[in-house]
Structure 1
């Protein structure tokens, strides 16, 4: 549930944002000044920079409550001054006025309009929940001091504001009293009672020290207190982060290794296919050589020297190329063997040597 200070702040901001539309110098009616139903915002015909004066004309405001008032441009020269100590700026923001004494009439939720007691430092609300201002509180439009102790009669004010949530609108009741800080004014008995601690039964936020009465009817932890986790939670989170990092790295390594194996298998398969193809070519060449050597009249011819070694034996060099028309050679025919060495067409050399010996 929302605290009093937060509720009042939101109401004040909404008030500033929902001013009238009548500009300076134009006619207005003070009879239209009112607190709007549901939000209790002060509203007038004039815009956010003016107020409706006694002559029913919108004139420039004479004071402000906020450091950065709504409706003015940044750095504007027309922003009115804030009131000095001992004064307050009313909802109309027409002019600064002197603080009101106890028992004087004040505007709704304007604790700052009331004069502070002498022991205001002892009574002042330092929790930031808007229980009072310097020990003064405006209840039922009357200024009083928040100094009532336990068991004594107190004054309570219950205001139902219209609020909204996802399921729709609802009534948010803000209950305030004139008890000292640490006490609350019971709405039924109208006496000040001690605030309840964590876990005690409650019916409203004001009854709890934490100002947080949960839906189960017990006082809960203050909503403004940050939640602290046990050391083991941080350890588990750290281990989870580290485990996630290492898991990611290991997963990437496995995936990449699988991809490398697949690529390696493709290269091995390619090499096997190429080697098989090369072996087939060698077998074809061997078959062709055997066929040529088996032809009649070619066993001792000069052409047969192409497929024989220098000592007359058949060569086992399967890398020797198949040469056609060796007898018609036009010079030295060079080729590169598989071992990188260069050889020549021996058939051409043999025929040349025979001419030199005079055998032809």
Structure 2
């Protein structure tokens, strides 16, 4: 069975790191622009500086690599983005590229300095003003939708300042406002050109809330808090009044009890001091006053007392004299 040149190179990159031909090094897929080389292994890259042999990756420019098993190999570390970058092949952390230097496609993070951009694999700075000369690059992507159909996307980028874009005459022109016709996101001030070719706000756009709306919201919150505090104060007053009434009734009952006890003691004392006079009948007492039982009452005795109507014998002074 004949092996093609591609199969032969992949075979040696995977299993014989010392005999990989240097002329066969694939880089970026022109359809998806994903990095790919002849090693065809998620853990390896083809190192052209070492006789085009496959070496283990030592860095990563993302926190996820499809197909990487961390149980088998430790995940490569990230580079310090302020000083170094990790190339697409994951070889090792490399110093940032100065303006005018070579960079990998769409890798703005490889360029040194602020507001930098990688155009046509060259580092530039987005400082071209309105009406100034500009440069741009075009990248055609092929992606797949939920139905599995291939969708082509065209991305054009330039080095014009914010609020402008590189026009057909390679001069920076003003960006378009909302609802204007557009073809690329870069043409709109909102940086979003909808599918219908109209400049629109992005779905995740941050909406600034007006000061008066903040003030109204704060007033509503303050009023709500005051209403809650007022309701709690009224509830507290109601409960306090109820408790006060309970205490008043308690002490009133105690005073009534003490008054009845003093009245009963006085009647007993009066009967002892004046045995010739009888006290008020039991029926009258029961009608005019309340009886408080301090122990379990004897119902039979109470019934006998209630049915007894004999009037006690009254002694007179004359009888006393006669007895004497």
After TM superposition, the score normalised by the length of structure 1 is 0.47
User: Does 1:68 find its partner at 2:64?
Assistant: yes
**What residue number does 2:95 align with?**
98
Q: Distance in 1 between matches of 2:196 and 2:63?
A: 40
User: Does 1:44 find its partner at 2:40?
Assistant: no
Q: Give the count of matched residue pairs.
A: 190
Q: Aligned pair in 2 of structure 1 residues 171, 70: CA closer, same or farther (>3 Å)?
A: closer
Q: Distance in 2 between matches of 1:167 and 1:59?
A: 34
Alignment of 1:215-226 (within 5 A): 215-225=195-205
> Which of 32, 35, 38 lines up with 2:28 in the alignment?
35
Q: Aligned pair in 2 of structure 1 residues 211, 29: CA closer, same or farther (>3 Å)?
A: farther
User: Does 1:140 find its partner at 2:126?
Assistant: no
Structure 1 position 29, deviation (Å): 4.5
> Gaps spanning 5+ residues in structure 2: where?
1-9, 208-324
Contact 1:103 1:144 in 2 (8 A): yes
Q: Aligned pair in 2 of structure 1 residues 44, 82: CA closer, same or farther (>3 Å)?
A: same
Contact 2:25 2:46 in 1 (8 A): no
Residue aligned with 2:186, SS: helix
The answer to which of 52-61 and 23-32 deviates more is 23-32
Structure 1 position 173, deviation (Å): 0.7
Deviations 1:174-228 (A, max 9, x none): 0100112232112x1211122222112223221112233235443123233499x
Contact 2:155 2:184 in 1 (8 A): no
Q: Aligned pair in 2 of structure 1 residues 208, 24: CA closer, same or farther (>3 Å)?
A: farther
**What residue number does 1:183 align with?**
164
Q: Distance in 1 between matches of 2:195 and 2:102?
A: 36
Q: Aligned pair in 2 of structure 1 residues 36, 68: CA closer, same or farther (>3 Å)?
A: closer
